[in-house]
């Protein structure tokens, strides 16, 4: 990895930490020396999530997911924060884990609003 790529990665990690702080979380750039659950890209207080930051124009999605899943703790979900130049940050997460643990179905039946339906 070249110096410019490492610098861009560090800047991205600081940007994500700042994004989390602006939204009420505690966060700081992690210490990068070994990989794994003990050295995440961003240290934060969002229980149950391991953050992998990718600040690149072309994300190698499956490689990033593989790395994040290898580095996360056993009770954590891997989150990939990605941003290309001039674009907003996006989060990538396993869909099954999201539906099961982040946005589970409510206990009660919910009627979804259909704007095209007239009753």
Query: 58 vs 5, which has greater pLDDT?
Result: 58
Does the domain at 3-102 match CATH 3.40.50.300? Answer given as no
β-strand pairing of 77-83 with 49-55: parallel
pLDDT at 16 over 90: yes
- Cα distance between residue 79 and residue 102, in whole Å: 12
Residues 59-102 pLDDT 10s: 999 999 999 999 999 999 999 999 999 999 999 999 999 999 99
| Domain ranges (residues) in the chain | 3-102
CA angle 23, 24, 26 (to 5 degrees): 115
What average pLDDT score do residues 10-32 get? Answer: 93
Percent of the chain with pLDDT strictly greater than 70: 83
β-sheet bridge partners, residue 52: 80
pTM of the full predicted structure?
0.81
């Amino acid at each position: 990895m070249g110096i410019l790529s490492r610098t861009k990665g560090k800047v991205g990690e600081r940007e994500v930490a700042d994004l989390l702080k602006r939204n009420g979380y505690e966060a700081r750039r992690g210490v990068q020396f070994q990989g794994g659950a003990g050295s995440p890209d961003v240290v934060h207080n969002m229980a149950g999530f391991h953050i992998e930051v990718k600040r690149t124009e072309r994300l190698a999605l499956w490689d990033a997911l593989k790395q994040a899943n290898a580095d996360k703790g056993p009770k954590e979900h891997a989150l990939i924060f990605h941003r290309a130049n001039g674009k907003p940050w996006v989060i990538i997460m396993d869909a099954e884990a999201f539906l099961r643990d982040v946005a589970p179905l409510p206990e009660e039946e919910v009627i979804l609003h259909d704007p095209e339906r007239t009753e």
